[in-house]
Amino acid sequence: MHGDKDAVVPAKDVQGLVEKLKTQKGIIIDQKVIAGANHFFDNKIEALMQSVQAYLDKRLKPAENTAA
């Protein structure tokens, strides 16, 4: 998660880290940018929480049993 108004961590630094992590075997990167959010997500907590919840729902979803 990164806010596009973050004055503490520049977007180029985040993108550089994301690109490096994508080259690592077995690492899945799902980067999201929250429009209008600063470093602390002031006034954007709801958008942050929705994104985090969606990510957790996706990653923690029990594997479906495909055996017949």
Residue 68: predicted pLDDT? 53
Amino acid letter, residue 60: L
Question: In 3D, which of 1, 5, 10, 60 has the Cα closest to residue 37?
Answer: 5
16-62 residue pLDDT tens: 999 999 999 888 888 999 999 999 999 999 999 999 999 999 989 88
Residue 26: predicted pLDDT? 85
pTM score, two decimals?
Answer: 0.76
Distance from chain centroid for Cα 25:
18
Per DSSP, which regions of 2-65 are E strands? 2-3, 33-34
